[in-house]
C-alpha cells in the first residue's frame, strides 16, 4: 500500500487546522520581532545639512552684496560690507519662517507675520522680538570662508566682532 498516497488524502482535521494556525501565529510573531529588531538598527533619521560649511572665497562676494547663494541649502545670507563679511541666519526670530531680501528697500521682510529686519539683522517692525542671528565665520588655511551655524550671536557689539564678523580689506564693487 502506498503510504504517501494515504497521507495526501488525509482530511484536514480540526486538530491539524488549529496546529497550523498556532504555528502561523508563532511564525508571524517572530517575523514581526525580527523586522522590529532590524528597524532598530536602521532608524529613520532626518538628515539636516551640516552646521558647518564652506562658503567659497571672500573674493566671490562683492562689497554691498546680500548673497542668497546659501539661502536654500543652509538658510544663510552672506553679506559683504566694505569692512568685512558676515553670515546672517535666514530664520525669522518670531516663529522661524524664512524672510525675503528686498534690495530696493534694503530690508528683510518675513512673509508669515510681517516682521522687518535691517541689513545688520535688527528687527524694526512686526512681532519678531529680537534681531536675526549671525553664524560664526572664519577663514581656513586655504583662504576658504567657513560658516559655523552651531555658534550664533545677535547682540549688537558682540555680533560685529569675530567670530561673528570677519574683517576684510574693502574692495570696490565690479
Question: Segment contacting ligand FES (CB under 6 A): 46-54, 67-75, 108-116, 161-169?
Answer: 108-116
Closer residue to ligand FES in complex, CB, 63/112: 112
Residue 51: phi and psi, rounded to 5, are -70, -25
DSSP three-state, residue 23: helix
Facing residues of 134 across strands?
A: 88, 153
| Nearest Cα residue to 160 out of 122, 128, 124, 130 | 122
Q: Does 88 bind ligand FES (CB under 6 A)?
A: no
> Measured between alpha carbons, how far is 133 from 120 in angstroms, rounded to an integer?
10
Question: Segment contacting ligand FES (CB under 6 A): 8-16, 35-43, 59-67, 122-130?
Answer: 122-130
Q: What does DSSP assign to residue 103? A: T
Q: Does 91 bind ligand FES (CB under 6 A)?
A: no
**Out of 128, 132, 135, 166, which residue is the one contacting ligand FES (CB under 6 A)?**
128
The residue ranges that bind ligand FES (CB under 6 A) are 92, 94-97, 110, 112-115, 126-128
Amino acid at each position: 500500500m502506498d503510504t504517501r498516497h494515504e497521507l495526501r488524502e488525509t482530511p484536514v482535521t480540526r486538530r491539524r487546522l488549529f496546529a497550523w494556525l498556532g504555528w502561523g501565529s508563532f511564525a508571524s510573531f517572530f517575523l514581526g520581532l525580527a523586522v522590529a529588531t532590524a528597524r532598530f538598527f536602521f532608524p529613520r533619521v532626518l538628515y539636516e545639512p551640516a552646521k558647518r560649511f564652506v562658503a567659497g572665497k571672500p573674493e566671490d562676494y562683492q562689497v554691498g552684496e546680500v548673497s542668497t547663494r546659501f539661502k536654500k541649502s543652509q538658510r544663510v545670507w552672506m553679506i559683504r560690507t566694505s569692512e568685512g563679511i558676515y553670515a546672517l541666519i535666514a530664520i525669522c526670530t518670531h516663529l522661524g519662517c524664512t524672510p525675503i531680501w528686498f534690495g530696493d528697500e534694503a530690508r528683510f521682510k518675513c512673509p508669515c507675520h510681517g516682521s522687518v529686519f535691517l541689513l545688520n539683522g535688527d528687527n524694526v517692525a512686526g512681532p519678531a522680538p529680537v534681531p536675526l542671528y549671525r553664524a560664526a565665520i572664519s577663514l581656513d588655511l586655504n583662504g576658504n570662508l567657513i560658516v559655523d551655524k552651531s555658534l550664533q550671536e545677535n547682540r549688537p557689539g558682540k555680533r560685529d566682532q569675530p567670530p561673528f564678523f570677519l574683517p576684510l580689506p574693502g574692495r570696490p564693487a565690479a
